[in-house]
Amino acid sequence: MFFDRYPRFAQRGDRKVLKNLRHEAIVGQHRDVFGGARVLDLACSAGAWTFAALDAGAAHVIGIESREQKVLDAREHLAHYGIDAGRYELHIGDLFEELARIKPQVDVVLCLGFLYHTLRYPEL
């Protein structure tokens, strides 16, 4: 499965199985949506879904994450797997402030694992 091939993003046990199944449902079955798309990855963490979108053919991904270490990890992981730094940009900061600041124009939005961390649903 997808994340089995990329151990920097893999988790263990049941979480790994679930992450692979999520990939198949979200990316694997919708590769046509990602091809050539500009993608926004909200709360991108260490870059697993940014990487998955790029691997599926996304032209460019913008990731936003509040935790600086996670963004540093994401940059390291993407570089390790040979992803051209021109194909993505990763922003550190409050998601709502960054969205207001950069005003991204995108085709696809990934919002995986963020909704249970906010009460600002209408604003999002």
Which of helix, strand or coil describes residue 15?
helix
Q: What is the pLDDT of residue 81?
A: 98
Q: Kindly tell me if the per-residue pLDDT of 121 is higher than 80.
A: no
pLDDT bucket at 123, cuts 50 / 70 / 90: confident
Whether domain 2-112 has CATH 3.40.50.720: the reply is no
pLDDT at 61 over 80: yes
pLDDT at 42: 97
pLDDT of residue 114: 81
Residue 35, pLDDT > 90, answer yes
Rounded to whole angstroms, the Cα distance separating 110 from 114 reads 10
At residue 74 the predicted structure's pLDDT band, cuts being 50, 70 and 90, is: very high
